[in-house]
Chains A and B, each alone.
Chain A
Amino acid sequence: MEIKKEKINEILVLEINGRLDTTNYSELDEIFADHISKNEINIIVDCKNMDYISSSGLRVFLTALKKINAANGKFLLCGLQETIQEIFKISGFTSIFKIFDNQEEALKETS
């Protein structure tokens, strides 16, 4: 997994590339925790190049969402591949997360 970071109009955009699984979920968990602790609580996670996620990865997203909601920030996901959308559906996560087709749509939500 590789994570690219970018700041667009005070919004932190994280792009996840590759697999998010039991072997590496803690890397992403630490990145979220670090930014949230610095009060950077408007985050878009671009998943267009994330080709795999397991329940460990879902847990990291859920933890970040809970913390950011509690701090009145925004945690948005975008660009989910079809197979991953399916996993979100099976998990009942589509109703919990704000999910957008792409980064542009997610950025509109933050403006």
Chain B
Amino acid sequence: MKKNKLIIKNNVSELEKVSVFVEKIVKEFKIPDKLIFNINLVLEEIISNIIFYAFDDESDHEILIEAKLIEDDLHILIKDDGKAFNLLDAPAPTDLNAGIDDRSIGGLGIHFAKTLMDNIDYKRENDNNKIYLRKQIS
């Protein structure tokens, strides 16, 4: 089993580290190029949501991103100590077929995660949010 992790602070500027981390695991885990975009996108959407909405105080918080390759499956855990938020309960985006005047972007990030990953799970444990993503890579 291959494994790698990254810890970032709850600041938007830290998102660059996430794309560098994705580049790294893609090489280490030999993930096909066509999946790089989707992994990057799902991580950015979930982690930026955490950075923007999970914390009410002004202090620094750590967000852990842990990637494992188990056989052909990429497993990613994203852990934060912010407010409880189960992304699986988040409302679906407004009608994806709506005309331009009725369109908004709310919920689109979570919609990407649900569409582009094979599975998503959520647990609240010891005051932490844990999001588990799984994607088959071959």
Instruction: Please list the residues of chain A having a beta carbon within 8 angstroms of any beta carbon in chain B.
Output: 19, 21-23, 52, 54-56, 58-59, 62, 65-66, 69, 83, 87, 90-92, 95-96
Contacts and interface: CB of A to CB of B under 8 A. Distances in A.
Contacts, number: 56
Range for the number of chain B residues in contact with chain A: 20 to 34
A91 B48 CA distance: 18
B41 interface: yes
Contact of A83 (B13, B19, B37, B108): B37
B112 interface: yes
B48 A52 contact: no
Interface of B: 12-13, 15-16, 19, 34, 37-38, 40-41, 44-45, 48, 95-101, 103, 105, 108-109, 111-112, 115-116
Contacts of A83: 34, 37-38
Given A22-B48, A66-B101, 14 more contacts: A19-B19, A21-B15, A22-B15, A22-B44, A23-B12, A52-B40, A54-B48, A55-B45, A55-B105, A55-B109, A69-B100, A92-B97, A92-B98, A95-B97
Given A21-B15, A54-B109, A96 B103 contact: yes
Given A23-B12, A62-B103, A91 B44 contact: no
A57 to B, nearest CB: 10
B123 to A, nearest CB: 25
A21 B40 CA distance: 10
Contacts of B95: 92
Nearest to A95: B97
Contacts of B37: 52, 83
A21 B44 contact: yes
The 7 closest A-B pairs by CB, nearest first: A92-B96, A59-B105, A83-B37, A55-B108, A22-B48, A55-B109, A54-B44
A69 B44 CA distance: 30
